Amino acid sequence: MTAWYESTFGRDYLSLYPHRNDEEAIQDIAALLRLTDLPRREPLLDLCCGAGRHLAALRREGFTDLTGLDLSSHLLAEARARLDAASMEDVQLLRADMRDIPQRDRFTAIISLFTSFGYFASQQEDERVLVSAYRALTRDGTFVLDTLNREHVLASLTPSEEKELGDMCVRIRRHISRDGLRVEKETRVTQPGSPVTIYRESVRMYAKREIEDMLGRIGFVNTHFFGSLQGDAFTNSSARMVFVTSKVAHAPYH
């Protein structure tokens, strides 16, 4: 059976999230670089890079060794086109699953931005993503994870929404799964002359402590957390949870 994350990030995805654009990415990266001093001349991986908006922003900030990894061929093709159009042909793109980053001990920094975590059916599978990032980092490398905050989602969930995006009529339904662990989203897109398309998203919501525990088990150290990429203090009502953590040598998974 096809998992939701194999089919959702396709043809309509970028049109459904028009505000996740270059301008926002430039601001995200400026904020990230104020939060943590990532070395510009060393290898950086954008894990789940999507259409490459953060890679382009990083390149403009002077990063010279950039790789983006994503599972969606469609978004990777969009990323290639965006980067080539900006004369950023040197940025490498890789199609792979985030649980199996092919490189070991390669990246000084790995970033995972805008809720690319919590996608798998079990916590063990999600944890594999963190293990994979750990292995792909060089000693003392930095991992940045930007994801949603369970408490905020539970307190602010909008169950139903309708909007027009260009010629698309979009109806969104959200609910919390019966076990209370996941936020489920169904997006129904109607376009003149096309059959109705339905996209599903199912993201496991973690408490801060659960992610800290996973990072600690794997061997990450010096974990700092924030309520936004801008470095706001984390509270239960923060919309985001941002972890900045480091690898240490000779830890259990290495």
Ligand X SMILES: C[S@@+](CC[C@H](N)C(=O)[O-])C[C@H]1O[C@@H](n2cnc3c(N)ncnc32)[C@H](O)[C@@H]1O
Contacts with ligand X, residue ranges (CB under 6 A): 5, 9, 20, 48-50, 53, 70-72, 75, 97-98, 113-116, 119
Instruction: State the minimum distance, in angstroms, from the CB of residue 5 to ligand X.
Output: 4
Residue pair 47/112 in contact (Cβ under 8 Å)? The answer is yes
Residue pair 215/129 in contact (Cβ under 8 Å)? The answer is no
Instruction: State the minimum distance, in angstroms, from the CB of residue 250 to ligand X.
Output: 28
Query: How is residue 50 written in tokens?
Result: 């999507």
Helical (H) or strand (E) element with 141? strand 137-148
Query: How is residue 221 written in tokens?
Result: 């150290």
Q: Compare residues 125 and 140 and give the one whose CB is closer to ligand X.
A: 125
Calpha distance 23→20 (Å, rounded)? 8
Instruction: State the minimum distance, in angstroms, from the CB of residue 6 to ligand X.
Output: 7
The residues near 166 (Cβ < 8 Å, ≥ 6 apart) are: 15
Instruction: State the minimum distance, in angstroms, from the CB of residue 122 to ligand X.
Output: 14
Q: Compare residues 22 and 210 and give the one whose CB is closer to ligand X.
A: 22
Calpha distance 52→46 (Å, rounded)? 8
CA 49 to chain centre: 7
Q: Compare residues 9 and 226 and give the one whose CB is closer to ligand X.
A: 9
Q: Compare residues 75 and 144 and give the one whose CB is closer to ligand X.
A: 75
Q: Compare residues 22 and 251 and give the one whose CB is closer to ligand X.
A: 22
Q: Compare residues 5 and 243 and give the one whose CB is closer to ligand X.
A: 5
Helices and strands of the chain, counted as H and E runs: 8, 11
Instruction: State the minimum distance, in angstroms, from the CB of residue 195 to ligand X.
Output: 23
Residue whose C-beta lies closest to ligand X? 50
Query: How is residue 213 written in tokens?
Result: 């525990």
Q: Compare residues 101 and 192 and give the one whose CB is closer to ligand X.
A: 101
Residue keyed to tokens 């403009």: 60
Calpha distance 108→7 (Å, rounded)? 31
Instruction: State the minimum distance, in angstroms, from the CB of residue 113 to ligand X.
Output: 5
Helix (H, G, I), strand (E, B) or coil at 222: strand
Instruction: State the minimum distance, in angstroms, from the CB of residue 41 to ligand X.
Output: 23
